[in-house]
Chains A and B, each alone.
Chain A
Amino acid sequence: MTASQTAIVADPLGLHARPAADFVAQARTYESELVLTSGEKSGNCKSLLGVLKLGIATGSEVSITAIGPDEAAAVEALASLLGREPDTGDT
């Protein structure tokens, strides 16, 4: 089983050090393996360096994929931490 969810990064500065640190700290509270994907690059959600090196700007669409016992809760929490859900067309 895996769980996956996409999100649009809402922080106006993108995934910078402070929000990235918060993101990583939150990710480390889950047991599941967690991968953050932006475009063609992927990184370990539990690694600050893994997240920073993706160079994620504000408004980027990213996806979080989890494998593990708490995968559903993890992707849900991390996606909502990053920001809003992608626009589905309605306002």
Chain B
Amino acid sequence: MIVTGVPVSGGTAVGRLVVVGAHVPADVDVDDRPGSASTVEDLIALLVAAVDTSRAEITAIAAEARERLGDESAAIIELQLLVLDDPEWWNPILDQVRSGSEPSAAVWSVTSAVAEVLGSLEDPYLRERAADVLDVGQRVADRLAGRSRRGALRGLSGDVVLAAYELSPTDTLDLDLDVVRGIVTETGARTSHAAILARQLGIPAVVGATGLLEAVAAGSLVVLDGDAGTCEINPEQHVVDRARTKAAGAAPRAVIDHPVTTRDGLKIRVLANASSVADVERAVAYGADGIGLYRTEFLFMGSPELPDEDAQAEHYAAVAEAACGRPVTFRTLDVGGDKPVPGLHVEAEENPFLGVRGIRLTLANRPVFDAQLRALARTAAAYPGVSVMIPMVSGLEELDEVREVLREVAPGSTFRLGAMVEVPSAALLVDEFAREVDFLSVGTNDLTAYLLAADRGNLHLQHLYSEFHPAVLRALDQIRRGAADTPVSICGELAGDPRASGLLIGLGYRRLSVSGPLVPAVKDRVRRLDSGAATAATDTVLRARRHRDVEAALQVLLDLQA
């Protein structure tokens, strides 16, 4: 039989149907909980702690979404932070707890009431926001109950089509893409945030498939058509065969598990960016030649208090271990007023992007920086491939200061020390930096924003923000030349852009650090490329005076790697 719904994310999927639970009110028996709180104040403290943990989790998920999928996806998740801080959500919850409700019951009753109001609006887009509110409420209720949903959708194997009454945005981001081939839900619309995320993740999805869960038994073989909006249950063999062929056509490229060279024999290292041990494991599975950027801030944002030296050393060792002997470059804590870290007070600033962030923040919070450097030195002593790089460096003085701190707190540290080139002053002084560090890494996202004075999240500046702006490309050229013999890598989004592989190699870059899942595609493009032809074509791109001239010149480079 065939169940029909709304097609929201194209593609074909064949798999075993796995049914996952819908939102259910958190069912907590207060008396069963060890050390159960009794007074209203205790209950409120529990509630506040659950909200704080949820905030840290959502912040980390949003940052991860930004890395994997870009700003639009991150904004979808960040919306949930506004709900946590919303007086119309929080105040009635507090009132209910004060008048004797159990916290998770209060969270659930207020969340459901708010979702119901939104769900009854005329505007179909606004109606879908009910799902976002439910996602937040569920997370807080789970936290109160000491449950974590993170990973609840893991542990599946084989090819799976996931069926649910409803799938939340954060659950969608948490799907194991090596297993989940398609999604079908009873509720939802094209404008559901879960649907938008499914499209960005490239998972075929059908929503609004009313009657689905009654019609199917878990374990049935299904063919999901994300273009037609159908889910066929136990189809005939020829339908399955045809769908399998179709699905395989869109399968990702084969993993290449060794460093690749261009057609003319130039070795290019394709590294991965990572924020967790799981990312590192995935990067290795995708054939990355190492970790070019390990963001340590997620370790800080994900825990309710600052991780001490031992906790950090343990985490960094797990990262190095997961890299299986491949080199790992750790970036020291890179946060500012816009990225709160529990336990670290950062004053609110007019303009956090020009404020106390990156190395400025860590030098001003020496106990935090000292503990991190000590932990990294311990890791480097045990794992020879460890490097450390400093974010947001704007002048040589900051490097001097870092060295002084190192001499003081971790004398004899063995890691290679590098600097990020993302502030324009560092780009202009790159030759000076190159003499003083073991390596450099260009963060193209921030460099572009600072060069063009344009925030890439600002919808009104979309026409200005471009990593292909002539000024950015010329800066990348000057950085490469100024670095001379000091190794320099690219670790921004540009490195993974299909239009940029030939360009960056043409500019002389030999190390590209990209999001893990992009590694196979970048390696594949490198192997098709002739570096001589890329250099010649890059010269044309560099002569472009206007953004549109860059686009035209890029096409030549694209044809080279076709």
Residue of A nearest to B128 (CB): A17
Indicate if the CB atoms of A13 and B87 lie closer than 8 Å: no
Q: Does B324 contact A (CB under 8 A)?
A: no
CB contacts under 8 Å to B, within A1-30, are: 13-14, 16-18, 21, 24-25
Q: Which one of B75-83, B228-236, B239-247 is at the interface?
A: B75-83
Contact A57 B82 (CB under 8 A): no
Does B29 touch A at the CB level, under 8 Å?
Answer: no
Please state if A55 and B126 are interface contacts (CB–CB under 8 Å).
yes
Q: Which of A49-75 contact B (CB under 8 A)?
A: 49-50, 52-53, 55, 57
Q: Is the Cβ of B88 less than 8 Å from the Cβ of A50?
A: yes
Q: Are A55 and B123 in contact (CB under 8 A)?
A: yes
B328 at the interface (CB under 8 A from A): no
Nearest-CB residue, chain B, relative to A19: B459
Interface flag for B118 (CB, 8 Å): yes
| Interface status of A44 (Cβ within 8 A of chain B) | yes
B82 and A48: CB pair below 8 A? yes
Tell yes or no: A47 within 8 A of B by CB: yes
Once the chains bind, are B118 and A53 in contact (CB under 8 Å)?
yes
B133 in the interface (beta carbon within 8 A)? yes
Known: A17-B79, A21-B79, A21-B82. A52 touches B87 (CB 8 A): no
Complex partner residue of A53 from B83, B87, B121, B459, CB under 8 angstroms: B121
Task: Establish whether residues A49 and B86, one from each chain, have CB atoms under 8 Å apart when the complex forms.
Answer: yes
Q: Place the interface of chain B in its size category.
A: 20 to 34
Interface residues of B in 107-125 (CB under 8 A from A): 114, 117-118, 121-123, 125
A78 to B132, CA, bound (A): 25
CB–CB B75/A16 < 8 A: no
Known: A14-B123, A55-B121, A55-B122. A46 touches B87 (CB 8 A): yes
Do A24 and B125 form a contact, CB below 8 Å, given A18-B75, A47-B88, A49-B88?
A: no
* Contact partners of A53 in chain B: CB under 8 A: 114, 117-118, 121
When distances are taken between beta carbons in the complex, the residues of chain A under 8 Å from B126 are: 14, 16-17, 52, 55
A49 touches which of B114, B125, B459 (Cβ 8 Å): B114
Rounded to whole Å, the gap between the CB of A18 and the closest CB of chain B is: 6
CA distance A18 to B132 in the complex (A): 13
The verdict on B468 contacting chain A, using a C-beta distance below 8 Å, is: no
A16: B residues at CB distance < 8 A: 125-126
A80 to chain B, nearest CB (A): 13
B353 on the interface (CB 8 Å rule)? no
Instruction: Give bound CA distance, A21 to B132, whole Å.
Output: 13
Interface flag for B499 (CB, 8 Å): no
| Cβ–Cβ < 8 Å partners of A48 in chain B | 79, 82-83, 86
Shortest CB distance B89–A (Å)? 6
Contact residues in A for B87 (Cβ distance below 8 Å): 44, 46-47, 50
Contacts of B129 in A (CB 8 A): 17, 52
Q: How far is the CA of A53 from the CA of B75 in the complex (A)?
A: 19
Contacts of B75 in A (CB 8 A): 18, 21
> Within 8 Å CB of B89, what residues of A?
47, 49
Q: Which residue of B lies closest to A18 (CB)?
A: B75
Interface on B for A, CB 8 Å cutoff?
Answer: 75, 78-79, 82-83, 86-89, 114, 117-118, 121-123, 125-126, 129, 132-133, 459
19 A–B pairs (Cβ distance < 8 Å), ordered by A = A13-B125, A16-B126, A17-B79, A17-B129, A17-B132, A18-B75, A18-B459, A21-B79, A25-B82, A44-B87, A46-B87, A47-B87, A48-B79, A48-B83, A49-B133, A50-B87, A52-B121, A55-B121, A57-B123
3 residue pairs, one from A and one from B, having the closest CB atoms: A55-B121, A48-B82, A47-B88
Known pairs A14-B123, A16-B126, A17-B129 / 14 extra A-B pairs, C-beta < 8 Å = A17-B125, A18-B459, A21-B82, A24-B82, A48-B82, A48-B83, A49-B86, A49-B118, A50-B87, A52-B121, A52-B126, A53-B121, A55-B123, A57-B123
